[in-house]
Amino acid sequence: MSLFLANESDPIAHIVDKGVLGFKLFDQPVMLSMITLAVCAIVLYLLMSKAAKSIATGPASMGNRRFIPIGAFSALVEVVIVYLRNEMLIPVMGERLTKRYLSFLLSLFFFILALNIVGLIPFIDIQDAVYGLMGKHFDIKEHETSAIFGGAATASISVTGGLALVAFVVIQFQGFRELGVKGWLEHLCGGHELVHGSIFLWLVVPIIFIVEFFGLFVKPAALAIRLFANMVAGHTLLITLTMFGAMAIKAGLGIFAVGGITAVSGVGAILITFLEVFVAVLQAFIFMFLTAVFISLMSHEEEEGHGEHGDADESAPASGHLSQQPAH
């Protein structure tokens, strides 16, 4: 997002992914989101390592204090992990599946959260400002930027699509591992009871198979599109608000009118930024949580316990008490 360049005409232009200074990899332009992904991954790993060091049990020489986490960040990480594990994942997936997939789901949640939060900080504008102060000028082409880090990576369908593909692979891996090929195919045909039921029930099996087969791809696609659309929408709104001042100047309004419009749109942008922080957390949670739900649907417990899985989208989570799905 480029708040300082918001006087340009198209707000979407500030959000879409761009090449970095003409760098190429395999004859393809190196995109800003790629560097942001790598930096976020490294920063996330370092921050979480620090938190882990603080949360982990210390040496016996520390006495009872070895059980107490040190620092607010570690306490926050701990609270989030405990809440996700105990209040969200175990009720949906059960102890066994939670234990198996907890590392993956926590990584997914914190990685998306880091990307979303970084997207809210105007790193590109900060770099542009620094370049301006240093008097540096880059000869950049179309679809390129002089910044080497920043931007909302999750506002790129390529990034969210990659994450959704990872989720898809893990969900199907769970299906094959838990149900086997035969069970997986039965799952696609409506489940064991339907396949081995009355001959009349077979009439609906082709329909269910088609729905379920497309559902395999629709579910992760929905994950990708939801995250992408929310990030694009939020950042577009933010950029649009910051453009009002420049639009007022271009329109030739008086200084009071420009000041008033800028002040109102600035306050609006600040409030929307708070909302975007909430959305960043919420969307990371939804992506992770729905992945957990889809994984849990691919288990024997789901087959035996619920039987109904044909409508296994975000409107029908595995656990009854989680029926109120957050939607954004």
Partner 1 sequence: MLIASTDPLAFNLLPFITTIVVFAVVAIALGMFVWPKILKGLDDRNAKILHEIESAEAARAAAASKQKEFEQKLAEALEQSAQMIREAKSEAVRMGDEIRAKSEADLAERARRAGEEIENARRTAIAELESHAATLAVSIAGRILKREINPGDQKRMVEESLAGMSDKSAKRN
Return the DSSP state at 85: I
In the complex, the smallest distance separating the C-beta of residue 295 from partner 1, rounded to whole angstroms, is: 14
Position 319 contacts partner 1 (CB under 8 A): no
Q: Does 45 bind partner 1 (CB under 8 A)?
A: yes
Question: Quick one: angle between helices 32-55 and 157-188, nearest 10?
Answer: 70
Query: Does 156 sit near partner 1 (CB under 8 A)?
Result: yes
State how far the Cα of 183 lies from the Cα of 186, in Å rounded to an integer: 5
Query: Which neighbouring-strand residues pair with 20?
Result: 145
- Residue 18 found at the interface with partner 1 (CB under 8 A): yes
Among 84, 113, 155, 318, binds partner 1 (CB under 8 A): 155
Report in angstroms how near the CB of residue 315 gets to partner 1 at its nearest: 25
Residues 157-216 within binding reach of partner 1 (CB under 8 A):
157-159, 161-163, 165-166
Q: In angstroms, what CA-CA distances link 235 with 15, 20, 113, 154, 279? A: 7, 21, 15, 11, 11
In the bound complex, what is the minimum distance in angstroms from residue 276's beta carbon to partner 1?
17
Partners of 31 in beta bridges: 19
Asked if 117 touches partner 1 (CB under 8 A), the answer is no
Measured from the CB atom, the residue of 13 and 263 that comes closer to partner 1 is 13
Among 84, 120, 189, 232, binds partner 1 (CB under 8 A): 232
CB 105 within 8 A of CB 292: yes
Q: Is 7 in the site for partner 1 (CB under 8 A)?
A: no
The Cα–Cα gap between 258 and 262 comes to 6
The two three-digit tokens of residue 139, written as one number: 């000869």
Q: Is 188:213 a contact under the CB 8 Å cutoff?
A: yes
Q: Is 12 helix (H, G, I), strand (E, B) or coil?
A: helix
Contact residues toward partner 1 (CB under 8 A) are 2, 5, 8, 10, 12-18, 25-26, 28-31, 33-34, 37-38, 41, 44-45, 48-49, 51-53, 55-57, 67, 69, 77-78, 81-82, 102-104, 106-108, 110-111, 124, 128, 137-138, 140-147, 153, 155-159, 161-163, 165-166, 232
